[in-house]
Amino acid sequence: MIFAAPHIGAVFLFHTGALFYYLMRDFPKETELSIHQTHFMALSPFAGRLPDPSMLVNIPALITAYYTGVPDPSDPDQRIAFGTSGHRGGSLRNSFNESHILAITQAICLYRRQKGIDGPVFMGMDTHALSTPAHATALEVLAANGVDVMIATGDEYTPTPAVSHAIIKYNLSRIKGLADGIIITPSHNPPDDGGFKYNPPNGGPAESEITKWIENTANGLLEEMTRGTGASGIKRIPFERALKAGTTHRHEYLNNYISDLGDVLDMDVIRGGSAKLAVDPLGGAGVHYWQPLADKYKLNITVVNTQVDPTFRFMTVDHDGKIRMDPSSPYAMKSLIDRRDQFDIAFACDTDHDRHGIVTKHAGLLPPNHYLCVCIDYLFRNRPGWSEKAAVGKTVVSSMLIDRVTARLGRKLYEVPVGFKWFVDGLVDGSLGFVGEESAGATFLRHSGKVWTTDKDGFIPALLSAEIMARTGRDPGELYEGLTAEMGAPVYDRIDAPASAEQKKILSQLNPQQIQQKEMAGEPITSMLTNAPGNGAAIGGLKVSTENGWFAARPSGTENIYKIYAESFNGNDHLQRILSDAQSIVDKAIGK
């Protein structure tokens, strides 16, 4: 749903029969609010404002807890658990402590040994407070295991795409001695969170088989440590020795990544454009990349914020009162939205720079699905070096407008479950030209049709917005309006509904034959899927479609809820009917 927020006044949200009232005094006139992320129980009074000092994380307490906290492996919330983006947690919750990182890193060493992966580990970290101590812990284990490690020159923060790019570039033309990577980041999560993920030699997120092996092995090591029987299964040397070890090497992530950007973007076109550009790194790992990038390619980019502060006190607060470095949130992006009249296009990336957000004078903050459609339509018309058979990759919860744009281009659509790992093989072999997720993650091929990164890259979609405007003379918001004038204007939303652990399990294992309904929101149901049409993989839920709308339901991995994503091409009333029918269909199927 899109709401125009007046400069001073009230905004009303009508959501499945509930009325939510909140004041939006500080949003600029006509700021677009894309309510695509969550079913609001209430909007925090701090949403879109700088945080109160009482909301800032206590960094000394956070770091102390990292070293002193003792997780309880019998508590599921304190065990190691790899989701779609590695293990995440917090030291104050005993879910991201030194013990976790020791165990995970040792498990990665054992996995590498088992699979014969004996090249270097490219290791990077973002600007979250827990990333630096976790980086040190991981280096101690890697060095003790005799693993060659490539850490950033000058201990620089390292974006996720720079690590993926480095792995791919190193492994090019190699069949042995392959490299892999570790990226220490919880993405756009709040400042008190930590994250740790493993990327195998293909450079992308690890597949479930890999993460499950690492998770199980690491939890076994964690149990050893907490039983008081010692940590004999974990090898470790002091940090100073690890830094000086012959296996520890410095790598120029920044210059290597920036130097190759001309292979994936048309820098001459961007440089030749008249648009005034701005970027806000949101205090993330790419904070020191943007100015060298602008200098190298002589681009008219203003870096509006160069602060690095582990409390992220400069961020405006997200809808729920939490600090979150989410470039797709109009609340987190308010500072940049406020400056939209000063620049033709402004963009931002999250903390590890694998997600993007685009702000234009014309449209404000573009919802991720809108911009993905524009990228697809533009790229497949302006990349003659790509194969004529190169397809478009999307997740099952992304906009159906992508399907229509792809069909008009005469390209194949490759629809997969949520998770960037499903795109990796297609990027490696060039059969996927562009891939994107509804959560503002994307990447695409080099001009030559060869792989660029196999993990999400926030830099290149951000810079592509400038290329698009320079070449077409229209900003991405205007181009999206053109697409919807031809193919329909969808409205999109997501809600959460309560579900027990048993009901979530039933939802994750549903069979289409269990659904008896033939209609949804007054239209015949045209398809019911529990497996993605692109690769046949289970989506872990259900997707139901009609000619003019769809919904997908998936259980939450962390809460006793299930999530419904829905979209309609027949307006908001039709969308609300889809959401209502969707909840009825799912509740009946899971026995509520």
Q: How many domains does the chain have?
A: 4
475 and 565 in one domain? no
513 and 477 in one domain? no
Q: Is the entire prediction scored with pTM above 0.85?
A: yes
In single-letter form, the type of residue at position 350 comes to: D
Q: Which of 440, 458, 487 is the last residue of a domain?
A: 487
- Provide the pLDDT for residue 28: 35
In single-letter form, the type of residue at position 106 comes to: Q
Q: For residues 547, 374, 159 and 426, what is the CA-based torsion angle, rounded to 10 degrees?
A: 60
217 and 75 in one domain? yes
**The sheet that has 248-251: what strands, in order across it?**
82-83, 86-90, 193-199, 180-184, 121-125, 149-152, 248-251
Q: Report the 3 state secondary structure along 449-497.
A: CCCCCCCCCCHHHHHHHHHHHHHHCCCHHHHHHHHHHHHCCCEEEEEEE
290 and 208 in one domain? no
365 and 338 in one domain? yes
Strand partners, 122: 150, 181
510 and 476 in one domain? no
- Provide the pLDDT for residue 24: 33
Per-residue tens of pLDDT for the chain, all 592 residues? 333 332 222 332 333 332 222 223 333 333 333 333 344 447 899 999 999 999 999 999 999 999 999 999 999 999 999 987 799 999 999 999 999 999 999 999 999 999 999 999 999 999 999 999 999 999 999 999 999 999 999 999 999 999 999 999 999 999 999 999 999 999 999 999 999 999 999 999 999 999 999 999 999 999 998 887 655 799 999 999 999 999 999 999 999 999 999 999 999 999 999 999 999 999 999 999 999 999 999 999 999 999 999 999 999 999 999 999 999 999 999 999 999 999 999 999 999 999 999 999 989 999 999 999 999 999 999 999 999 999 999 999 999 999 999 999 999 999 999 999 999 999 999 999 999 999 999 999 999 999 999 999 999 999 999 999 999 999 999 999 999 999 999 999 988 889 998 999 999 998 888 888 999 999 999 999 999 999 999 999 999 999 999 999 999 876 788 999 999 999 999 999 999 999 999 999 998 8
Consecutive H or E run containing 34: strand 31-34
524 and 462 in one domain? no
285 and 232 in one domain? no
Quick check: 352 and 416 in contact, CB under 8 A? no
419 and 318 in one domain? yes
107 and 223 in one domain? yes
Quick check: 387 and 429 in contact, CB under 8 A? no
178 and 127 in one domain? yes
Question: What residues make up the domain containing 572?
Answer: 491-589
The enclosing domain of 104 has a CATH number of 3.40.120.10
442 and 510 in one domain? no
* Residues belonging to the active site: 187
Does a structural domain hold residue 269?
A: yes
